[in-house]
Amino acid sequence: MNSAERETLKTDVLIVGAGPAGLSCALRLAQLYQAHHDHAQPSSSQPDLKTENIFVLEKAGELGAHCLSGALLDPVALQELIPNFRSLGAPLETPVSEDAVLYLTQQGRIKLPITPPFLRNHGNAIISLNKFVKWLGEQTEQAGVSLFPGFSGIEVLYEGERVAGVRVGDKGIDRAGNPKPNFQPGYDLRAKITIFAEGSRGSLTKQLVSQLGLDRGCNPQAYALGLKELWEIPSGRLKAGQVFHTAGWPLPPSQYGGGFIYAASETQLSLGLVVGLNYENPGFDPHEAFQQWKIHPWLRGLLAGGRMLRYGAKTIPEGGYYSVPSAAVDGALIIGDSAGFLNAQRLKGIHLAMKSGMLAAEATMDALLKQDYSKSQLAGFERAWKASWVGEELWKVRNFHQAFDRGFTRGALHAALQFVTGGRGLHARYESGPDYQHMRRLPEVGGRARANLKADGQLTYDKLADVFHSGVQHDEDQPPHLKIADYDICNNRCVREYGNPCQYFCPAAVYEMEDNADGSGKRLKLNPSNCVHCKTCDIEDPYQIITWVCPEGGGGPRYDGL
């Protein structure tokens, strides 16, 4: 459609993404407006700051529906943002009561005699991120912020090199790109300051970083994929608040990753497997490894007679300090997982996402008061995060994930050395390459690594059964939101070289290789409506020809209670 038919809305601040980062940013900004109104002398030169002109855009139909985490919450940022969070009913029901780290072999388990300090969770709480984000959204809405769930940001708008806002996706376009009777054009939202809080591998953040070269001099972002199920189990097996982290089986020593089990109550367990996307074998299937992990005798015993309630999967940006791009540009800031504010050693990003959002709000407030939205003004955010406990926490683990680039065992040794040298280890800065470059061609690794697991529908599930438990829903009659730049590469080259790893790395069965009708080989078939928005395909495809873009707003998983 031409731009004359598309309406433009102007606002002061536009935040893209209502996760912990985006909502903390919006709420902190609303608090700063309030404090300003309470203390400032009325003056005509002051900007007119209204909380309803803080817009938050969210692609999920309901706040929290696309938020997936473990989750153990370190409440440090929450305490700063909402000191009376307990009396306001924050859903932090289960304090961590006990921690243990286990090394699994195929049949056995060895408990580390001492839990490493970074995996001690005394003072933290087991939460459902979905419930927490809903609650945070309520606090933010009560502060007067304008929330827009069900709307996807699909394109960054520029004026020259300055970010000027975001285009919202149209609704009611059919598979072939034609308007349907319910067609609604998306708005162009123009803002003085746009804040990208899209979570891991944000689709607009990716455009922005590449357009402005914001990752120049950085290590490429490194990712893990986290797969999670929520289970109800018979009581008497675990105590509420018990936390376990596992290393070892079923991942080989060459591979980075581990498991988590969090007892939110005696009968409700959050459990999952996190695997680095820097693996070599293109036939490795993270979902299959997750299912295999559950057949370990100890896990089997915990889950026997229980019921799987929900499933989800999401990527985690693990590169750390040296992978954070320039996060301030003319007219925009990048916060939370989108910028890579996550401590991979602790598997924790919620508190860092929140604090980065709060610091971005402070930088935004300064810029609004000075009516200067330039990069040099907004760069106050970069100085602030580096000087804050966010910078301090990330600096201490600055080389952590890169150490695992050549396998788990070697990485663990480097990580131990880094721990005693304040994060340095053997080198001042460990370099790393993008995840997909670690993948080797199928013949080089001697064929596909398979667990040969047959899902039984009680303890183990195939991808489709798990996808059903993610509550995912998309309107099927819309253009596919997975853009494949060249099907010829998939059907004729990847098939020989890598054996089409998309069929394996996607945890939601979106990618399928089906036989050609004339028996002449196979071709790629997409099932976009299964997509749980984890973004693994955008990261892991060895030819980098898959681009994940937002589907129509409102579609996607429904991570209730996850």
Ligand X SMILES: Cc1cc2nc3c(=O)[nH]c(=O)nc-3n(C[C@H](O)[C@H](O)[C@H](O)COP(=O)(O)OP(=O)(O)OC[C@H]3O[C@@H](n4cnc5c(N)ncnc54)[C@H](O)[C@@H]3O)c2cc1C
List the one residue from 13, 51, 54, 70 that touches ligand X (CB under 6 A): 70
Q: Residue for token digits 């939460």?
A: 127
User: Is residue 121 within the footprint of ligand X (CB under 6 A)?
Assistant: no
User: Is residue 75 within the footprint of ligand X (CB under 6 A)?
Assistant: no
Whether the bond between 47 and the residue before it is cis, its omega within 30 degrees of 0, is no
Residues 9-28 interacting with ligand X (rule: CB under 6 A): 16-22
The smaller minimum CB distance to ligand X, of residues 226 and 250, is found at 226
Residues 491-530 interacting with ligand X (rule: CB under 6 A): none
Give the end-to-end CA distance of the chain in Å, rounded to a whole number. Answer: 38
In angstroms, what is the minimal distance from the CB of 400 to ligand X? 15
Residue 251 CA to residue 106 CA, distance in Å, equals 10
Look at residue 25 and give its three-state secondary structure: helix
Sign of CA dihedral 22, 25, 29, 35: positive
Residue 459 CA to residue 303 CA, distance in Å, equals 7
Span interacting with ligand X, options 65-73, 418-426, 495-503, 515-523, rule CB under 6 A:
65-73
User: Is residue 229 within the footprint of ligand X (CB under 6 A)?
Assistant: no
Span interacting with ligand X, options 63-71, 242-250, 388-396, 421-429, rule CB under 6 A:
63-71
In angstroms, what is the minimal distance from the CB of 110 to ligand X? 23
List the one residue from 167, 190, 287, 314 that touches ligand X (CB under 6 A): 314
Note whether 498 and 282 are within 8 A (CB). yes
List the one residue from 163, 316, 378, 562 that touches ligand X (CB under 6 A): 316
List the one residue from 57, 261, 263, 363 that touches ligand X (CB under 6 A): 57
User: Is residue 347 within the footprint of ligand X (CB under 6 A)?
Assistant: yes
Other Cβ atoms less than 10 A from the Cβ of 335: the count is: 33
Residue 347 CA to residue 99 CA, distance in Å, equals 14
The smaller minimum CB distance to ligand X, of residues 351 and 474, is found at 351
Quote the tokens at residue 438: 């670690």
User: Is residue 59 within the footprint of ligand X (CB under 6 A)?
Assistant: yes
In angstroms, what is the minimal distance from the CB of 442 to ligand X? 28
Residues 231-290 interacting with ligand X (rule: CB under 6 A): 272, 274
List the one residue from 324, 353, 449, 472 that touches ligand X (CB under 6 A): 353
User: Is residue 157 within the footprint of ligand X (CB under 6 A)?
Assistant: no
User: Is residue 91 within the footprint of ligand X (CB under 6 A)?
Assistant: no
- Residues 186-225 as x/- pattern, contact with ligand X by CB under 6 A: -----------xxxx-xxx---------------------
In angstroms, what is the minimal distance from the CB of 498 to ligand X? 25
Residue 33 CA to residue 16 CA, distance in Å, equals 20
In angstroms, what is the minimal distance from the CB of 236 to ligand X? 25
The smaller minimum CB distance to ligand X, of residues 184 and 491, is found at 184
CA distance readout (Å), 415 to 316, 412, 427: 19, 5, 12
Helical H runs in 65-218? Answer: 76-81, 129-142, 203-212
Look at residue 224 and give its three-state secondary structure: strand
User: Is residue 226 within the footprint of ligand X (CB under 6 A)?
Assistant: yes
DSSP for 284-342 reads --HHHHHHHHHTSHHHHHHHTT-EEEEEEEEEEE---GGG----EETTEEE-GGGTT--
Determine the size of the site formed for ligand X (CB under 6 A): 44
DSSP for 538-560 reads HHH-TT--EEE---STB-B---T
In angstroms, what is the minimal distance from the CB of 145 to ligand X? 15
Closest CA to 146 of 9, 319, 262, 341: 9
List the one residue from 349, 391, 501, 542 that touches ligand X (CB under 6 A): 349
Note whether 508 and 528 are within 8 A (CB). no
Closest CA to 472 of 537, 530, 550, 512: 530
The smaller minimum CB distance to ligand X, of residues 274 and 332, is found at 274
Span interacting with ligand X, options 62-70, 89-97, 229-237, 471-479, rule CB under 6 A:
62-70
Quick one: which H or E segment has residue 269?
strand 268-276
User: Is residue 96 within the footprint of ligand X (CB under 6 A)?
Assistant: no
The count of residues in the chain is 562
Quote the tokens at residue 347: 């598997």
Note whether 526 and 145 are within 8 A (CB). no
Span interacting with ligand X, options 229-237, 279-287, 344-352, 501-509, rule CB under 6 A:
344-352
Span interacting with ligand X, options 55-63, 249-257, 449-457, 537-545, rule CB under 6 A:
55-63
List the one residue from 49, 68, 289, 508 that touches ligand X (CB under 6 A): 68
User: Is residue 66 within the footprint of ligand X (CB under 6 A)?
Assistant: yes
In angstroms, what is the minimal distance from the CB of 272 to ligand X? 5
Whether the bond between 449 and the residue before it is cis, its omega within 30 degrees of 0, is no
In angstroms, what is the minimal distance from the CB of 516 to ligand X? 35
Q: Which residues bind ligand X (CB under 6 A)?
A: 16-22, 57-60, 66-72, 129, 152-153, 197-200, 202-204, 226, 228, 272, 274, 314, 316, 336-337, 342, 347-351, 353, 550
